[in-house]
Structure formats: structure tokens, C-alpha cells
Amino acid sequence: MVLDESQRMRIEKVQIWIYVPYTIDEVQPVVEVYITADQGLVEWKDSRVTLSGNVVMNRRDGSTIFSETAVYDSSLKSLTLPKSVRILNTGHTLEGTSMTLEIKQEKLKLTEPVLIRY
């Protein structure tokens, strides 16, 4: 549903694929992150998508990240998860109060990390 002249669009059952920039030698781009959420708000003016409700991110490294809210800024190629985060990977579980992921630089910053299981 497009919201009048606000340059926003509300969507349900969101699926987003974020690709890693690739070189001419590669056959096709690689998916860095695949995200699903119950709903989203696309803001064309700010190049952002705000996701809410059961946000699940599957990363290329095999980890799965869970939160209730995420903001993807396409101009900065960054994801911000401002609420509590749980990261599952083979053999361990991490939790934190928030997280940022800079996709181009492949940097993940977890605020107040706690290792739950190793």
C-alpha cells in the first residue's frame, strides 16, 4: 500500500536479498544477507527499509540472526538492529542489545555481547 505523497510504501511478508558487490571475473553476485520480516516500511526519500516483527537474517557465513526490528539503509549498505539480537551459528549462540552490519566492509558490531552457548 502506497501512503499518499509521503514517498513511503507499507508491505507485508517482507523478503530482502542483499548482494555482495562482485567483480567482472565472477559469474554472478553472491547473496550476503537474506532477510524476512512480518512487515516493512519502504522510504524512497531516505533509501531505507524499516522491518518489524519476527526479523530473521540468514548470512552467507551460515549464521542466523533474530530480532524484532531492523533498518536497512541502501545508500550506506548497512543494517541496524536497534533492539535485542540473538545470533545462532554452528556450536554457539550470542546475544546483544543491538547490532550494526556494514555490508561493504563486512563489519558486524554487536553491542553488549554475551556468549550464551559454545
What's residue 25's pLDDT? 63
The grid coordinates listed for 24 are: 567482472
Amino acid at 63: S
| Segments making up each domain of the chain, as ranges | 8-117
Record the pTM. Answer: 0.80
Per residue in 71-101, pLDDT (tens digit) is 998 888 888 999 999 999 888 899 999 999 8
Helices (H) then strands (E): counts for the chain: 0, 10
- Tell whether the model's pLDDT for residue 6 goes beyond 70: no
- For 59-63, which contacts have Cβ atoms below 8 Å and span 24 or more sequence positions? 59/32, 59/33, 60/20, 60/30, 60/31, 60/32, 60/33, 61/89, 62/89, 62/90, 63/87, 63/88, 63/89
The grid coordinates listed for 118 are: 559454545
**83 with 70: CB under 8 angstroms?**
no
Superfamily of domain 8-117 in CATH is Lipopolysaccharide (LPS) transport protein A like domain (2.60.450.10)
